[in-house]
Chain A
Amino acid sequence: MDIQETQRLLSECLHELANLFHRLPGSAIFLRYVKSSYQNDPIRSAVELFLFLFAVRYLLAPKYSTKPGVVQLSEDEIDDLVDEWTPEPLVGNPTALEEMEVDKRTVIVGPVGPKSKLANGRTVVNLGSFNFYNFNTNESLKEKAIQTLRNYGVGPCGPRGFYGTQDVHMKTEADVASFLGTASCIIYSQAFSTISSVIPAFSKRGDIIVADKGVNFAIRKGIQISRSMVRWYEHNDMEDLERVLAKVTKEQARKPLTRRFIITEGLFESYGDMVNLPKIIELKLKYKFRLILDESWSFGVLGRTGRGVTEHQNVDAAEVDMIVGSLAGPLIAGGGFCAGSEEIVHHQRISAAAYTFSAALPALLSTTASATINILQNSPETVSQLREHTKSLWAQLDPRSDWVYCTSAPENPIMILVLKPEVVAAKRLSIEDQQFLLQDIVDECLTNGVLISRLKTLEDNFEPKQLVPPALKVCVTTGLTKKEIEKAGTTIRHAITKVLSKKK
């Protein structure tokens, strides 16, 4: 075999290969691509070939974890680590305060009324329950509840979406809406869960919330779970609110428009003071924010007929985008509600977690709410009498005590009594000391036949932390006469003096 023979064979072979290649579908396109990309520039083709080879290598490469910092361990090593690991117990040791709380749990026997019997057999004046109008011992309301019980049973045995919507729920929704003067209303089966579910139903990641620093725990949880951007303003400080709103508007001016909310309370749970609603409405309209107002403590209390802070400060309820309230306190039913436009209510029926994933409100509580709203609506004297009583109790406590002052609004039947700053400073009291002292006062009141409670707070994991000053909580009820109220007020005052003057 000489060299020519080899050459001939080679060229034949190449020819055959070229033929085969041409017969392959798509080969023409490939050739055209190579020719056009070559453009008399071999480096260019080399780069492309390199890229091609890299892609092949990448696709064939073994999979690797994208989690950073995973340490490769053998099975034996993992077993050793498992043996070594000792988890912490589920809960830590109780603090002294917690032990005391469990010890001193108040247990009521029989009905919650102006005077309640306790488990230790004593009957005391009850200034600890939210039974402001003493509806709880109202015989006709009881009869109505029993009638409902005999028609509907107790539980509705299902969430609202799955046959848990009863006609009584629809009626209560209509009643609350017409009482407040909003287009629509939705009821939840617990007041505490309402606002923490309403907020994340509307405010999502990327939306903006401007909230009062003193809002209650449920609102904080709602804001936390919504994962929205949140800006806080000083408690009840309208100038600071305006500053924050202006700042947010300026920051966001060039960004796409997102939902913006102001969240505050009507009567604050932890301080008892009242919001300045007309000013907030003015600011919200100016800066184009929506307002979520938690009226859990003002609904059924403020205003001529108990419609809440909107009635009290002469604001049209329709101006507030969402009014959230409670049917569980003075209305002695159960559950909470959110009132607003039809669109707002409808959206919650699909996307509010505590509504869609929870059983409906028991029918008898729903009819009770309708009935008590009806009473409030038709007899404004009920509400004015409460205000009279509040005034009498207030007169006994706030101006006459050297030790405490009341942070509540004068119309608020829940009086929040805080130690005066000079007392705290003089006696150098830490927060915990104050809690123990206040508990001593509560015990002293109980010994003298008056039941009151301490304002309960809970530390949470949401930044910035909230620091609510320790306080006593005294609730007025119209079930007592003016004289009895005044006497109870004196008892509380004396108890405060006795305990605090003893403390060095």
Chain B
Amino acid sequence: MPRWNRRKKSQAKNEIANSTQSTASSDNPQILQSTAIASLRAVSGNSPDLSKPDTPSPAQLRQLAKQHAEFGPLRDPSHLHTSEHPGGEIPDPVLDEPPYFIALTTYISFLVLIFLGHFHDYFAKWFRSHTYRHLRPQNGYASLYSDFESFYTRRLKQRINDCFERPTTGVPGRYITLLDQTSDDKLHFQLTGTTTDTLNLSSYNYLGFAQSEGPCSDCAEETIRRDGISMAGSCGDTGTSKLHVEVENQVARFVGKESSIVFSMGFVTNATIFPAIMGRGCLILSDELNHASIRFGARLSGAAIQVFAHNNMADLEKRLREAISQGQPRTHRPWKKILVTVEGLFSMEGTMCNLPRILELKRRYKFHLFVDEAHSIGAVGPHGRGVCDYFKVNPAEVDILMGTFTKSFGANGGYVAADKAIIDKVRCTNAGQIFGEAPAPSVLAQIYSSLRLIADEDPLHPGQGLERVQRLAFNSRYLRLGLKRLGFIVYGHDDSPIVPLMLYNPAKMPAFSHEMLRRKISVVVVTYPATPLELSRARFCVSAAHTKDDLDHILRVCDEIGDALELKYSTGIAGGLREPLSRDVSKGGKKAIEPPRWSIEEVIERGTRDAKLPLY
């Protein structure tokens, strides 16, 4: 039976957090003591305890430990960095490849798994036919899903089901509390009633705003007391509040557009915006790795859809030339309009779109541009304002900027920002606005207060948002560089907070996930259908809430597991070398490079300094 008694659990959590804190303090007692007292002051404000700060009460210590379990304190001002593009076009990331042996074993593993699955199915159909009843037509009803359609989930995914949908409780901050569970058949899970505190590398908590204390939660609490829990209606009816309008203006200001609309769900934002602006006779050119919600919306719009290779600007240009010169199929009438759709930061690859080049193409080919900033808003750019900020591009050049509040802002929902004329029209033609429920006041309050911090509009907490943005930039680069130097193959751009670590072999996914969990780190492992079959990976989502010590711990653990599972495949062409690649080597002489296999001590010692230099 699950333990629903929240009070008891939060106590338990405090204790665990406390113990984590004590282990951390044994590492670095002086620093911790000072930050502890500093943040205690910040917490207690004008409490009488200030007079004797050396002896905080146990209750205060517990509160502090809880705070730190949600958001780690900054240990050293050197652990900050500005996320900024040096200028010019962004080079495509170099894709390192593992030895052929690994590719071969990956394919063989899948073949074996598929064979075993069919073998299992074949015999189970004979001997345990009652377990297959739901896959066969019975008394006149077709099965809900076919045997063939569900083969992958039944026979492959189910083997590692315990790595997905792990239930949690509490704040998904720097640490996340997992509810332990057991299973006999990997289909039905029973909660054991115990919990495990793990370092959180899995939540999209880029700026660390997943907190139950601090200015944002205070604002949310105040809003619930004042405005209640829900708007009890859609924006099309009477669900628009003053706070809602304020958030809309604030978002528009933040991303640099005239106007914006806010939705209560990110998926719906994309699913409904395309039908509102595109239709028959229009063409949507979409990156092949665009999110499912974009594909959902594009399909509903009735426009023609073409896909171009991921981040491949030559392919995009080729398709644009073909589309404009050939027009619509059969009739050869010119397309009414063409919408190029890309994501700012791709969630599975960690790559950023090549915005400077896309804008060059836009000037030449006059298409409209839609950038989905679901992951990049808040997370990249010197001021956290997304890819336009990162590439120092005028946001006016992008027609539509879309983003979500789930990731960097610790809230829920999405927005679309554009010129006022577009937004006014879309307000009346967008199903998500007319029929979808309005965002709850508490969620709006979280967006409002976190945006104020990031945009540095909050006079009570100056510089706090910027510090988070800079911590995230440092943490992302530090972890990425460390993993590369240890010898892992890591995908994506240097400044991206999404760090995919390549695993390849299917069996290494559960192994990696379990080994990390044993060492109290929760990670996400991804494979087909989210990625190509042979490119299984673990995806780390770095947060501003992590301290450098956390990252060092992660590097140590990855080093250990990497050796045990033989994951260090890097050849060095993608970085992590002792010296920058000289030009002639990068052109031809691949063999001349010595693969990077740094020792963990060396990685940590040089990491802080090197992470701020151009990565190589």
Contact = CB atoms under 8 A, between A and B. Distances in A.
A90 B418 CA distance: 11
B172 A458 contact: no
A108 B432 contact: no
B245 interface: yes
Contact of A105 (B240, B336, B437, B524): B240
B561 to A, nearest CB: 19
Interface stretch (A25-33, A45-53, A301-309, A327-335): A327-335
Nearest to B449: A154
Given A105-B240, A146-B221, A189-B265, A82 B364 contact: yes
Interface string B169-207: 111110010110000000100000000000010111100
Contact of B6 (A109, A141, A151, A365): A151
Contact of A347 (B6, B145, B240): B145
B324 A85 contact: yes
Contacts of B140: 257, 288
Question: Which of B187, B233, B326: most chain A CB closer than 10 A?
Answer: B233
A170 interface: yes
A68 to B, nearest CB: 8
A389 interface: no
A131 to B, nearest CB: 4
A62 interface: no
A168 B524 CA distance: 21
B170 A156 contact: no
A219 B203 CA distance: 32
A190 B240 contact: no
B264 A334 contact: yes
B255 interface: no
B217 A153 contact: yes
B554 interface: no
A91 B144 contact: no
A390 interface: no
A91 B230 contact: no
Interface stretch (A15-23, A350-358, A392-400): A350-358
B98 interface: no
A98 B425 contact: yes
Contact of B326 (A71, A97, A126): A71
A257 B137 contact: yes
Interface in B287-305: 291-293, 296, 299-302
A290 B366 contact: no
A228 interface: no
Interface string B307-341: 00000000000000100111001101011111100
Interface in B49-103: 70
B239 to A, nearest CB: 7
Nearest to B330: A69
Nearest to A171: B4
Interface string A336-368: 000000011011011101101111011011001
Contacts of B476: none
A347 B154 CA distance: 11
A183 to B, nearest CB: 13
A73 B325 contact: yes
Interface string B428-440: 1101101111001
A359 B412 contact: yes
B212 A129 contact: no
Contact of A131 (B10, B232, B291): B232
Given A81-B325, A167-B167, A364-B442, A333 B229 contact: yes
A91 B426 contact: yes
B595 to A, nearest CB: 31
B225 A365 contact: no
Given A82-B365, A460-B275, A111 B227 contact: yes
A350 B176 CA distance: 23
B242 A130 contact: no
A10 interface: no
Given A91-B422, A155-B210, A141 B229 contact: yes
Contacts of B411: 154-155, 362
Given A259-B142, A334-B440, A453-B238, A461 B165 contact: no
B277 A91 contact: yes
Nearest to B216: A154
A108 B442 contact: no
A353 B326 contact: no
A254 B301 CA distance: 35
B280 interface: yes
A123 interface: no
Contact of B321 (A78, A288, A351, A451): A78
A108 B240 CA distance: 6
A420 to B, nearest CB: 24
Contact of B232 (A129, A196, A349): A129
Given A357-B293, A456-B434, A193 B425 contact: no
A1 interface: no
Contacts of A251: none
A460 B431 CA distance: 10
Contacts of A156: 172, 203, 412
B587 interface: no
B443 A154 contact: yes
Contact of A82 (B241, B325, B440): B325
B104 to A, nearest CB: 29
Interface in A138-196: 141-142, 145-158, 160-168, 170-171, 189-193, 196
A302 to B, nearest CB: 18
A335 to B, nearest CB: 8
B148 interface: no
B606 interface: no
Interface string A215-247: 011100100110000000000000000000000
A88 B336 contact: yes
Contacts of B280: 461
A80 B563 CA distance: 59
A5 interface: no
Contacts of A99: 424
Contacts of A161: 164-165
Contacts of B428: 94, 97-98, 101-102
A190 B144 contact: no
A152 B212 contact: yes
A129 B233 contact: yes
Interface in B392-422: 399-400, 404-407, 409-412, 418, 421-422
Contacts of B233: 112, 128-131
Contacts of B165: 160-161, 165, 349
A77 interface: yes
Nearest to B219: A154
A220 B178 CA distance: 39
Given A69-B329, A456-B435, A153 B172 contact: yes
B170 A151 contact: yes
Contact of A458 (B179, B425, B431): B431
A357 B170 contact: no
B43 interface: no
A78 B400 CA distance: 27
B509 to A, nearest CB: 14
Contacts of A128: 233, 237-238
A157 B264 CA distance: 14
Contacts of B164: 161-162
A129 B231 contact: yes
B226 interface: yes
A237 to B, nearest CB: 25
A319 to B, nearest CB: 14
Contacts of A94: 421, 424-425, 428
Interface of B: 2, 4, 6, 10, 70, 134, 137, 139-145, 153, 157, 164-173, 176, 178-179, 187, 200, 202-205, 210-213, 216-217, 220-221, 224-234, 236-242, 244-245, 264-268, 271, 275, 277, 279-280, 291-293, 296, 299-302, 321, 324-326, 329-330, 332, 334-339, 364-368, 399-400, 404-407, 409-412, 418, 421-422, 424-429, 431-432, 434-437, 440, 442-443, 446, 522, 524
> What 3 A-B pairs come out closest when comparing CB atoms?
A128-B238, A358-B267, A332-B230
